[in-house]
Amino acid sequence: MRRLSPPRSGRRGLALAAIACLLLAALVQGRIEARAASRPGVHPLLYLPSGKYLRVAALGFDGILADAIYLWSIQYYGNFQIADRYRYLEQIYTQVIAELDPRYLDPYLTGALIMTVEARDPEMALRLLDKGIVKNPDAWILAFEAGFVCYDNLKDYARAALYFDKALQVPGCHPTVRHLYAEMYNRAGDKRASLREWTEIYETATDPYVRTAAWNHVHDLKVQVDQADLGSALDRFSKREGRRPRHLRELVSLGVVPELPRDPEDRDYRYDPVTGEVSYRGRLILVGF
């Protein structure tokens, strides 16, 4: 029986023609892209719809779509050659990924990091983290991260304390958050509240390392709070009596304070009646840290 297959040489010619056409198509594509690059075009992210609309198109595959956009965003924001890459940063993380998969924690943390460190916009990071906190009330890490942005970038210690407090309300929160929370009061100037928090950490900690660290804070804060209390008592005495006291016991005998505080080593504070200065007999532990 005669075979009906085409001659071998003809098939080879067709294959070569196909490869040649493919190469030409690739060349044309290269030219198209070169021309497009020279023209002022629209931003590639301009038409990326909100996550609310993308969810409809995802047909139940919201999670995988969020993964894909998150993976793409990491590559995109890691490309330092794109000059205006932060233009739609908030939209990508807050409006698209967070809407597609609100329980996906990594994009909140990575997005906040890019916004803070790369785009230098900590307030944008806080807006993203705030959204994450609302959607994931059981994830202490988001409130912790927001507190850290306030502490490290904004130097807004009072706001940081609020976030750390929010993280502490979540069961399973890492104990370090408690330390930061206590320290925020110190940084914000509320040493009495900081002393109260560190004392509680010291009294409740079981880890010897944590207890030692907490004690160092309690030690220094107690000295500072005592010195501040004695300083204000001395001012009240001076205003009332028109002179400085000869010794600190006069503050008690004339009813300015009910009793004199003792330093962490259970000693009296040193008082100079000439200058009116109160000093600590020992050395602060954390000075210079």
Instruction: By CB under 8 A, name the binding residues for another protein.
Output: 56, 59-64, 67, 70-71, 74-75, 101, 103-106, 109-110
Nearer to another protein, 125 or 251 (CB): 125
Nearer to another protein, 64 or 254 (CB): 64
Tell me which residue of 287, 285, 288, 276 sits closest to 227, measured CA to CA.
Answer: 276
With contact defined as beta carbons under 8 Å apart, do 126 and 150 qualify?
yes
Minimum distance between the CB of residue 213 and another protein, rounded to whole angstroms? 29
Nearer to another protein, 32 or 134 (CB): 134
Minimum distance between the CB of residue 28 and another protein, rounded to whole angstroms? 30
Nearer to another protein, 62 or 156 (CB): 62
With contact defined as beta carbons under 8 Å apart, do 167 and 131 qualify?
no
Tell me which residue of 222, 277, 237, 233 sits closest to 259, measured CA to CA.
Answer: 233
Q: Residue 139 carries which side chain, given as an amino acid letter?
A: A
Minimum distance between the CB of residue 110 and another protein, rounded to whole angstroms? 5
Structure tokens at 249: 């016991």
With contact defined as beta carbons under 8 Å apart, do 278 and 230 qualify?
yes
Distance, CA of 283 to CA of 264 (rounded, Å): 11
**What does DSSP assign to residue 257?**
S
Distance, CA of 173 to CA of 187 (rounded, Å): 22
* 3-state secondary structure (DSSP) of residue 81: coil
Minimum distance between the CB of residue 127 and another protein, rounded to whole angstroms? 20
Nearer to another protein, 107 or 122 (CB): 107
Nearer to another protein, 52 or 192 (CB): 52
* Alpha-carbon 230 to chain mean position: 37
- In our burial notation (b when 16+ CB lie closer than 10 A, e otherwise), range 31-65 reads eeeeeeeeeeeeeebeebeebeebbeebeeebeeb
Minimum distance between the CB of residue 118 and another protein, rounded to whole angstroms? 13
Minimum distance between the CB of residue 154 and another protein, rounded to whole angstroms? 23
Nearer to another protein, 38 or 75 (CB): 75
With contact defined as beta carbons under 8 Å apart, do 197 and 182 qualify?
yes
Minimum distance between the CB of residue 117 and another protein, rounded to whole angstroms? 13
